[in-house]
Amino acid sequence: MGAKRIIVIGGSAAGPKAASKARRMDENAEITVFQKASDLSMASCGYPYYIGGYFDDRDQLLCSPAGVVRDSRFFWNAKKITTKVNTEVTAIDRKNKRIEFKNLQNGETGFAEYDKLIIATGATPRKPPIPGVDLEGITSLQSLVDADYLRKIKDEGTIKKAVVIGGGLIGIETCEALHLAGVEITIVELLPQLLTFLDKQMARLVEKYVQSKANVILENGVAAFIGENGKLTAVKLQNGTEIPCELAVVAIGVIPNTKLAREIGLTTGKAGGIVVDEYMQTDDPDIYAVGDCIEILNLISGNPVHAPYGDLANLQGRVAGENVISGNVARFPGTIQTGICKVFDYGVGATGLSEQNARKAGIANIETVVNASLDKPGFMQGKLLVTKLIVDKSDGFILGAQVLGPGDVSKQIAIWAMAIKGALTVNDMANADLPYAPPYSLAIDHSIATAHIMQNKLNRRFTGISAEQLKEKLKAKEPLVLLDVRNPDEYEQMRLGIGEKLIPLGQLRKRLTEIPEDKNAEIITWCKISLRGYEAALVLQANGYKNVKVLEGGLMAWPYKREK
Amino acid sequence: MGAKRIIVIGGSAAGPKAASKARRMDENAEITVFQKASDLSMASCGYPYYIGGYFDDRDQLLCSPAGVVRDSRFFWNAKKITTKVNTEVTAIDRKNKRIEFKNLQNGETGFAEYDKLIIATGATPRKPPIPGVDLEGITSLQSLVDADYLRKIKDEGTIKKAVVIGGGLIGIETCEALHLAGVEITIVELLPQLLTFLDKQMARLVEKYVQSKANVILENGVAAFIGENGKLTAVKLQNGTEIPCELAVVAIGVIPNTKLAREIGLTTGKAGGIVVDEYMQTDDPDIYAVGDCIEILNLISGNPVHAPYGDLANLQGRVAGENVISGNVARFPGTIQTGICKVFDYGVGATGLSEQNARKAGIANIETVVNASLDKPGFMQGKLLVTKLIVDKSDGFILGAQVLGPGDVSKQIAIWAMAIKGALTVNDMANADLPYAPPYSLAIDHSIATAHIMQNKLNRRFTGISAEQLKEKLKAKEPLVLLDVRNPDEYEQMRLGIGEKLIPLGQLRKRLTEIPEDKNAEIITWCKISLRGYEAALVLQANGYKNVKVLEGGLMAWPYKREK
């Protein structure tokens, strides 16, 4: 038997990873990667930082860790992998196990035979089907060509106003990049919130912060692009508003590229991607698929999802690369959809299910809590973290966590992602043994403190109220006793100003007479982060008050305007 | 029945936490904390940073997150807890359930009765039993008094030379603090390595780095302190060397304060601490013990250990505080001895068992791997991480991990600590779903890449060799083919210079004739981090070479001198 012939369609992320792994598994295999674009192995997640000017050397997006550009020569010399760039695979012939390709530069076509085929065709940005979409000045941020276009805008510095359409991850990252490029930004999002992987209250905290850098317009879509002489001059919204701008970046999601797969009858699924098993194998035992063109299992909900994350693409590529050589020995079980993005000086991340997604997935018995604290001590310049934790009330298992703030969000998300991976409960997390030293964390890490608050809530030691719920009550003019229990100087610096009374925790026991006598009165307590708010609630409860609620996350998690 | 009387002996960390939790559990309990020192709730882990000048306001060591000094007034007003400072508990009377105390300022004595007692007496620094130990200029770094003394030295700036005795965590942190204070430091350690929670190769990497900031003397103890007019002038080592200095900081460990407990017959254990169960309860059902005076279970080895970490003290305090009120409902299961310390611009941390401790614990079937890589992409100013991972070969379970370097060590240690907590295997970790974005990590996180290398090693895809083992072979002048597979420019900038030949990976396949023909020749391959070293080994193996080894962690994990 001759050398095994492996063909990989797609040379961006998952494809090259699969090819490289296959090579490491078999020095003698004939491995060929077909890449429609002209570049290979692009660090596409780095585009926003190249555009924003975090670095200026474009080659760094294409380099190996040793600083060598991963071009066809590199792939051949270092990995003995043939790469055909600017070459589109136009058809797959399952019966004869060969693919048909076309060189996009010279139009030449040809065939290549495979023993095993790996489809890594990626995804394409959605385009809104509205007038003017082909005007000059409208782009997405998906390809290196897009990145070059936007970087040129930064370098030239002539464009002053841009509209980013879509408040998801790519939209927000683009927003930061263009802001750094000196462009005034408006973000337009059809949904009532940014970053839909977050629950609404958390998203509102991001929104409040982003508003300090850009205009944010929610619940409004784009009706038309308006132009003069073929160039974009404004974006017209569904409510009629026109926003003058010279640039629009469309970031309303991506669609898996499944055309080739569908043409040969491979199954695609509910989430729109090619269906594969945990070996990354399609219906056809000789065809594997990886990366942004497939759908995978959400390991908590059990539902298929389209999860176009660069890290997962690499992990899937590694699995497919191993399996095409050795048979199905490696597995990629699925995702818990862990993600993070940098939003100016905030980190914003999530892992597992959000509350809304947990409910959609039919998990009814949910408890949530919001915790705000520093990531490390104040004397070590600790920065704020706000976490929303979601657990299954019936068994205490962690379902998901969302973390945001200027603090060390990345570590927090990693901790919760690992907690979910290990199928841990709140009680397990309450005694997690994490690395503590003042340069790195509080003595009780933010994640553990979050678990403690959840324990207290599950044990009915206190009743929480979210900022959203309180806001609703205020709107409905429900009779409430509002109690801020911080110190007077803190109150002078910052306060909600929603009719609250200030009684510092240290005076509360002596000033109980100032609280209405009615033991059924609804009392809301808070402080900066609601630790003292919690202690105040306990004091009130011990004094017979039956309807005391703690404002979760205190002032720090309040996503609305404050008086001060 | 009247209010429950809770007495806590010790007011530094675990004690106040237990008292505060007890208060939150029961508003009516009578809670009293006896504290021998004059301060309460000191952030003692912050002392090195106060001494080093990270911050100047001493009150920050004593403040609540809201910025209020946690003194007796604070404890009474905010928490209705009575605190008696400068007051030593001199005896416990189990029969009558009362303690005897003495005010260290005015000599007054008294008794107090308890329903439940919590012992949180902490630990005392070991003193070497050698001449001159009471000279002026010799201190430890345990109490706030010690911290004040060392901070004064920084502020006055008159002391030029100091010796730190003990290369453990406190010794190293003290070293950094004094270095920042402008003092020239020599660290003296009796053992052959610094930081014994690390395996030797990892400790050597720390040593190499610390040597750029301080003198490091290993395998040498202190024989005597030499003084003039009652003041320290030099430290004399066991090998006769005298090191002139005006200051010596003794940091050779701490001994649990168990005197009170032993006097009343409570059991102390092998690790020297008071024995408690997972409820933090001693032999006496009315007496609990927490913090640095107890020993706890190492959850991996099953052995009792003395683990004087500030985070565990707090967790234990919380459990005891709950249990003295509600009966034994809360548990503290034990520790995996997760720890981290800042060593100048390096983080150095460990979780679980080191290789040496795993072997001591009788786990024979161990595999280890060393991985070096950046924490995030080079274009985002990624910094180096070096990890040693230790797994049980029989089942793939993670036993421990050690991580060091200028990169984000804290997150890596948290990930491995959670992996151990979740009883995960290497295969689980190979598809961990961690937060990826270029500002925070590589597409394949360093921890996941470490798991991949371990998988490859367990699957016998390559044979590793540690720097230590290679060094031994070089010493023994074993015949070796040494192969650096980086690029010529990298080789010019930095190289081991141990007789290696340079064949860049990209040329290896064409230059195989330059490798000795003997297929049994022992070949060692490496690159900067040994990813290319691994690929080179695969190429050689595919060409029939049977004895190829990859230098783990490459140049970046080489703890000895390099030619360049």
Tens digit of each residue's pLDDT (9 = 90 or more) over B70-96: 999 999 999 999 999 999 999 999 999
Q: What is the pLDDT of residue A1?
A: 63
CATH number of residue B247's parent domain = 3.50.50.60
Whether residue A66 and residue B486 make contact (CB cut-off 8 A), yes or no, is yes
* pLDDT, tens digit (0-9, with 9 covering 90-100), for A38-88: 999 999 999 999 999 999 999 999 998 888 999 999 999 999 999 999 999
Whether residue A437 and residue B339 make contact (CB cut-off 8 A), yes or no, is yes
Partner residue opposite B45 with nearest CB, options A332, A437, A452:
A437
Whole-angstrom distance, CA of residue B510 vs CA of residue B507? 6
Asked whether residue B72 falls in the same domain as residue B220, the answer is no
Q: For B397-403, what is the mean pLDDT?
A: 98
Asked whether residue B271 falls in the same domain as residue B236, the answer is no
10-residue averages of pLDDT along chain A (564 residues): 93 97 97 97 95 95 90 96 98 98 97 98 94 94 95 94 96 94 95 96 96 96 96 96 97 97 98 98 98 98 96 98 97 98 97 97 95 96 98 97 98 98 98 97 97 97 96 96 96 96 97 96 96 96 97 95 93
Q: Does residue A562 sit within a domain?
A: no
Asked whether residue A217 falls in the same domain as residue A290, the answer is no
Flag whether pLDDT at B386 surpasses 70.
yes
Q: For B315-344, what is the mean pLDDT?
A: 97
Whether residue A432 and residue B441 make contact (CB cut-off 8 A), yes or no, is no
List Cα–Cα distances, B265 to B92, B191, B295, in angstroms: 11, 35, 16
Q: Does residue A390 sit within a domain?
A: yes
Of B202, B224, B252, the one marking the end of a domain is B252
Q: What is the pLDDT of residue A66?
A: 83
Q: Does residue A127 sit within a domain?
A: no
Partner residue opposite B60 with nearest CB, options A333, A378, A452:
A378
Give the closest-approach CA distance of B252 to chain A in angstroms. 19
Q: Does residue B312 sit within a domain?
A: yes
Give the closest-approach CA distance of A16 to chain B in angstroms. 13
* pLDDT, tens digit (0-9, with 9 covering 90-100), for B434-445: 999 999 999 999
Percent of chain A's residues with pLDDT above 90 = 98
pLDDT bin (cut points 50, 70, 90) of residue B297 is very high
**Is residue A471 a contact partner of residue A410, using CB atoms and an 8 Å limit?**
no
Which one, of B364, B369, B372, B440, lies nearest residue B400 by Cα? B369
Asked whether residue B156 falls in the same domain as residue B108, the answer is no
pLDDT bin (cut points 50, 70, 90) of residue B1 is low
Q: Does residue B130 sit within a domain?
A: no
CATH number of residue B488's parent domain = 3.40.250.10
pLDDT mean across residues, chain B: 96
pLDDT bin (cut points 50, 70, 90) of residue B67 is confident
Q: What is the pLDDT of residue B356?
A: 96
Whether residue B78 and residue A532 make contact (CB cut-off 8 A), yes or no, is yes
Partner residue opposite B443 with nearest CB, options A314, A374, A380:
A314
Asked whether residue B219 falls in the same domain as residue B315, the answer is no
3-class DSSP assignment, residue B304: strand
Within 10 A of A246 (CB to CB), how many other CB atoms are there? 18
Q: What is the pLDDT of residue A530?
A: 87
Searching chain A, which residue's CA lies closest to the CA of residue B423? A422
Which stretch of A267-276, B47-56, B61-70 has the lowest confidence by average pLDDT?
B61-70
Q: What is the pLDDT of residue B94?
A: 97
Partner residue opposite A379 with nearest CB, options B54, B66, B443:
B54
Q: What is the DSSP string of A39-87?
A: --S--GGGHHHHHHTS---GGGGTB-TTS-B-SHHHHHHHH--EEETTE
Asked whether residue A36 falls in the same domain as residue A110, the answer is yes
Whether residue A443 and residue B43 make contact (CB cut-off 8 A), yes or no, is yes
Whole-angstrom distance, CA of residue B387 vs CA of residue B413? 9
Whole-angstrom distance, CA of residue B47 vs CA of residue B141? 8
- The amino acid occupying position A195 is L
Which one, of B466, B202, B211, lies nearest residue B348 by Cα? B202
Whether residue A417 and residue B436 make contact (CB cut-off 8 A), yes or no, is no
List Cα–Cα distances, B153 to B43, B55, B147, B160, B373, in angstroms: 20, 15, 10, 10, 39
Asked whether residue B425 falls in the same domain as residue B392, the answer is yes
Asked whether residue B399 falls in the same domain as residue B505, the answer is no
For chain B, what is the domain count? Answer: 4
Q: Does residue A128 sit within a domain?
A: no
* Complex ipTM value: 0.97
pLDDT mean across residues, chain A: 96
Q: Does residue A149 sit within a domain?
A: yes
**H/E element, A200:** helix A200-210
Q: Which residues of B touch A443 (CB under 8 A)?
A: 13, 43, 45, 310-311, 313-314
Asked whether residue A267 falls in the same domain as residue A226, the answer is no
Whether residue A433 and residue B507 make contact (CB cut-off 8 A), yes or no, is no
Whole-angstrom distance, CA of residue B250 vs CA of residue B239? 18
Q: What is the pLDDT of residue A67?
A: 85
Q: What is the pLDDT of residue B248?
A: 97
Strand ranges across the sheet with A109-113: A87-93, A98-103, A109-113
Asked whether residue A350 falls in the same domain as residue A386, the answer is yes
Of B438, B458, B478, the one marking the end of a domain is B458
Domain carrying residue B367: 339-458
Q: Does residue B473 sit within a domain?
A: yes
Asked whether residue A159 falls in the same domain as residue A173, the answer is yes
Which one, of B5, B310, B545, lies nearest residue A376 by Cα? B310
Asked whether residue A516 falls in the same domain as residue A453, the answer is no
Across-strand partners of A76? none
Q: For B46-63, what is the mean pLDDT?
A: 95
Of A458, A493, A518, the one marking the end of a domain is A458
pLDDT bin (cut points 50, 70, 90) of residue B139 is very high
